[in-house]
Amino acid sequence: MEKTSQAVDDKLLDYLDGTLAESERQNLEQQIQRNAAIKTRLESLRSTHELLKQFNIEQPSRNFTHALMQRIDQAPARSTFSIRNGVFLLIGVLVTVGLAAMLVSIGVFDNPSTIELNNLDIPEKYLQHPLPSIPVSGKTIVNIIIMLNLGLAWIVLDRAILKPLFQRRIQTR
């Protein structure tokens, strides 16, 4: 089957819409009678055209563009994380850090301990050599936890308190 050009397709669609001038319409009808490929394409486009006419195309309301343009400069929705909640979270993190630091300073975690892997209930057929002991320093672990909490406190301070505060200052200018 011969393929029709885009220009012919456009003329056929204009013919189906009834927007061709009288002379162009007569000229196109003569081409349709002479060329079977154009006639087949017209029938294909006609069936598609009729199918599309059956669907009801929804139109936006008349004030859609106006309403959209009114809201385009509005600030995006604020995060639900308020400054007050951020302050409470920051206070909680700092209290935790303070308590952990106090416990480390009075020596609660000074006693080194070890994890004896040989005391685990593992059948001997799986073990060919004795397992090592792992020394654990509670003080080191608590110090690492304190550092992680301080990092978390800086993130909370930045995201929950400073960022909203400076955004409000910028918006009030």
Residues 101, 154 within the same domain: yes
**Is the pLDDT at 4 greater than 70, yes or no?**
yes
Question: Residues 6 or more apart from 139 whose CB is under 8 A from it?
Answer: 104, 109, 110
Q: How many domains does the chain have?
A: 2
Residues 96, 159 within the same domain: yes
Residues 50, 92 within the same domain: no
**Is the pLDDT at 2 greater than 70, yes or no?**
no
pLDDT tens digits, 15-56: 888 888 899 989 989 998 998 888 999 999 899 888 888 887
Domain limits for position 26: 6-54
Residues 87, 48 within the same domain: no
113 lies in some domain: yes
State the burial class of residue 134 (Cβ atoms within 10 Å of its Cβ: 0-12, 13-18, 19+). exposed
User: In the structure encoding, which two tokens stand for residue 17, read together?
Assistant: 């819409």
Residues 97, 160 within the same domain: yes
Residues 86, 89, 94: CA angle, nearest 5 degrees: 125
Residues 99, 156 within the same domain: yes
Q: How far apart are CA 147 and CA 150, in angstroms?
A: 5
115 lies in some domain: yes
* CB distance 13 to 45 below 8 Å: yes
Residues 90, 22 within the same domain: no
Q: How far apart are CA 19 and CA 49, in angstroms?
A: 14
60 lies in some domain: no
> In terms of DSSP H, where are the helices of the chain?
6-17, 22-34, 36-54, 64-71, 83-105, 138-156, 163-172
* CB distance 157 to 90 below 8 Å: yes
User: If pLDDT is split at 50, 70 and 90, which confidence band does 70 have?
Assistant: confident
78 lies in some domain: no
User: In the structure encoding, which two tokens stand for residue 92, read together?
Assistant: 């909680």
Q: How far apart are CA 28 and CA 41, in angstroms?
A: 13
Lowest mean pLDDT among 76-85, 125-134, 158-167: 76-85
Residues 16, 90 within the same domain: no
18 lies in some domain: yes
Residues 49, 94 within the same domain: no
Residues 42, 109 within the same domain: no
Average pLDDT, rounded, for the chain = 84
Instruction: Please compute the mean of the pLDDT values over residues 105-117 and round it to a whole number.
Output: 82
Q: What is the pLDDT of residue 55?
A: 81
121 lies in some domain: yes
65 lies in some domain: no
Q: What is the pLDDT of residue 75?
A: 64
pTM: 0.43
72 lies in some domain: no
